[in-house]
Chain A
Amino acid sequence: MAAPVSTVGKPSAERLPLNTTSFQKKTRTKLISIPGTRPSVQNGQLLVSTGVTSLDYLLGGGLAVGTVLLVEEDRYDSYSRMILKYFLAEGVVCRHELFVASAQDNPDDILQELPAPILDDVAIHKPVEQPRLSCEPQDSLDAMKIAWRYQNLPKVQSALASSSRFGHYYDVSKTMEPEIRQAAKCHRFYLTEHPTQSPPTHSTMLESYSALLKSLQEVINSEGFDVAAPMSKSRNILRIGLPSLGSALWGDDLSCHDNPRNGHALATFFYGLRAMLRSSLAVAVVTVPSHLIQDRALMGNITRLCDNAIALESFKGSERETNPLYKDYHGLLHVRQVPHLNCLASKLPDHKDLAFKLKRKQFTIERLHLPPDLSETVSRVSRGELAGAAAVASACGSGGSGNKHLDF
């Protein structure tokens, strides 16, 4: 029995143009449009790129503004430092402001080692080039043999200043040119330049951490990153990079002793940092030498107090370096925590076994899987050696692991 229903209207005879869609999302303009950010497709949060596109994908599209990313360092702090440099370089390219605080290296040295961006549309001083139009058919036809129908489409997405691309690629072998770097505003905090005074009251936080928090607060208030500040001028994002927080040079004995005296100083710092960031337009990436911290409960505390947390484990120096399974990669990446911001459940990554590899032009994070065993005589890697991350049951590999090959 047909229910009364309105007739299906005439099919709309709309012809969509080739490149864009006519679909416009109806949004209130409460969302601030800041260069280098985009709203998340999952929950509408404002996202910022970390500089590493595969890490953006893992974190659900990017880092949400107002959150903290904790990176647990690898043994020699090479790859975690690389991630921090990518983060700061992305800030320079997107014209955000930077804040670097360090106890070991001078922040200026860190800023001088940022990798150079690869793209041509990162045009700070050079004018933006228009995409090549198809006015010369003779030349362009020989360009593509198979995909010739796509020849006339523009090659480079014309990126203008207001809507720059989300996520750029960097060349690790070159450092960023000084002109590009100096175009971005950087705030520095070097611990050796701040004389430590003894705290008048007994507080749970060390004076180095309090000094850092105070300095951050000053920068946020004075430069207008506070969300509550009047919206008169254009807004920008503050990117905070804190390398090697919690090491002995900050005066913290968390990484030295098994039972540290002020074990909660770092946790209190993270509590204060996150509270400050929630009410400001800032993102922080913090690296912590967690391989030195023996108290796993404290490390768990610190992980809970940050929003995103990943851990890097490099193969250098461990016995896994010679394992043929890992020969393509530089280390393993563990995702310890993914945030749930303004929602009940978070989107965990599908695959838990991830490995990373630092190539010259890209830092890739891939799913670690057993390669197909094609040769007849190679001995199978026994299960015991794969203890750790790669206990993935691949379809063809684990079926008859104990038996000899059957010939059909």
Chain B
Amino acid sequence: MLTELLQGSDAGGFIIIRDSASCSGRHLLKSFINAALNREEDVHVLGFEVSEEELKGSPVQRLHFHNAYSDPLGWTDKPTFTVHQFCMEELARLLKQTSHPKPATLVIDSLSWILRHVSPPAVCATLHQLRKGGAVRAIVALLHGDMHQRGTVGSVCHLASSVITVAPGMKGGDAVAKITKRSKSGKVVQDEDIFTINNDLTVVIQSKHSQVGHKQADPEEQEMDPTAHLTFNLRLSNKEREAKEKLALPFVFSKEKKTALLHSSPGSGRILYEPDANDDYDQEDPDDDLDV
């Protein structure tokens, strides 16, 4: 599923790459940027954590890097992009600067930086507005899962359409990506891929399934069909089936009797009874001799 996400087939998606101290997700983020550039899309990068030269070597035309690395909190007089500019109006203005007809892809490196300085409900509201507004085609964000409280990480990941959690793999260069994708209809698909990233930022998937030892119980192998090797015949031929259906079972009524019972005519048999003195039986006074 990692390749499908990289191809970016569905618009309006919000992908979160969740990494930790043991395995960095920045290489995967660079692969996403590369894939978007290869698709001839405009990419806007909000870079808080690494500088422009480190993120990509040579300048590329369709990649717009907004430098929030040098002065994110606005301590100097002329900051390029501060953390407090992460709101809908400023971002819309930023994205309108390029005159490309197609909506762009927004890459945020990293969301953790923003979450440290802006309250999570405001960040969630901005992300929600970005998705709904249609100003961007897709959002890819890097989130350091171990930097925040569980509730914060959970709330932000709840908004995402796909969450990729990277963890170190068994071998040296490998990493394991656990992907959870939520579609619009509410269906949740989970997958796990082992991948490596080459020098030219292409992703190579090693294998599909994880090799951690889940004992796969195979009950199908142990069950055999019990009717396979028998010395007597359990099947019916056509003639035998017809004969079986013709057989009159003992307690099944014939058709005439059934209709007679179902449509009982009104005057078939009525019991007329007038209760007489003997019916007036009192349990507590069986001989009827008490003078009450």
Where the two chains meet, the residues of A that have a C-beta atom closer than 8 Å to any C-beta of B are 2-5, 7-8, 10, 76-78, 81-82, 104, 134, 137, 141, 145, 148-149, 151-152, 192, 247-253, 255-258, 289, 291-294, 316-317, 322, 324, 377-378
Contact = CB atoms under 8 A, between A and B. Distances in A.
10 contacts: A5-B284, A8-B283, A77-B158, A78-B187, A141-B255, A152-B262, A248-B158, A253-B120, A289-B155, A291-B154
Nearest to B261: A149
B285 A137 contact: no
A253 to B, nearest CB: 5
Given A4-B292, A8-B282, A257 B149 contact: yes
A192 B129 contact: yes
A81 B186 CA distance: 9
Contacts of B121: 248-253, 256
B259 A141 contact: yes
Nearest to A258: B149
Given A256-B121, A317-B180, A294 B188 contact: no
Contacts of B262: 134, 137, 148-149, 151-152
Nearest to A79: B186
B155 A2 contact: no
A352 B284 CA distance: 49
Contact of B290 (A2, A249, A256, A257): A2
B78 interface: no
A257 B151 contact: yes
Highest count of chain A CB atoms <10 Å: which of B279, B280, B284: B284
Interface in B121-151: 121, 124-125, 128-129, 132, 149-151
Contacts of A324: 217
Contacts of A255: 151, 154-155
A2 B149 contact: no
A148 B252 CA distance: 10
A377 B151 CA distance: 45
Highest count of chain A CB atoms <10 Å: which of B129, B222, B259: B259
B152 A148 contact: no
Contacts of B252: 145
Contacts of B124: 247-249
Contacts of A289: 155, 158
Interface string B268-285: 000000010001101111
B190 interface: yes
A246 to B, nearest CB: 10
B263 interface: yes
Overall SS of chain A's interface: loop
B182 interface: yes
Contacts of A137: 259, 262-263
Given A248-B124, A248-B156, A256-B120, 9 more contacts: A2-B284, A2-B290, A7-B280, A78-B188, A192-B128, A248-B121, A256-B152, A258-B149, A292-B151
B151 A317 contact: no
B151 A294 contact: yes
Nearest to A256: B120
Nearest to A5: B284
A389 B159 CA distance: 29
B188 A292 contact: no
B263 A257 contact: no
Contacts of A10: 275, 279-280
Interface in B160-213: 180, 182, 186-188, 190
B93 interface: no
Contacts of A252: 121
B99 interface: no
A23 B222 CA distance: 59
B258 interface: yes
A54 B182 CA distance: 27
B241 interface: no
Nearest to A324: B217
Given A76-B188, A257-B149, A317-B180, A2 B128 contact: no
Nearest to B131: A104
A343 B150 CA distance: 41
B214 interface: yes
B3 interface: no
A151 B262 CA distance: 9
Highest count of chain B CB atoms <10 Å: which of A256, A316, A377: A256
A10 B261 CA distance: 31
A134 B180 CA distance: 57
Contacts of A7: 280, 282, 285
Contacts of A149: 261-262
A74 B217 CA distance: 28
B233 interface: no
A3 B188 CA distance: 75
A297 to B, nearest CB: 14
B227 interface: no
Contacts of A293: 151
A301 to B, nearest CB: 16
A78 B151 CA distance: 19
A185 to B, nearest CB: 26
B119 interface: yes
B76 to A, nearest CB: 30
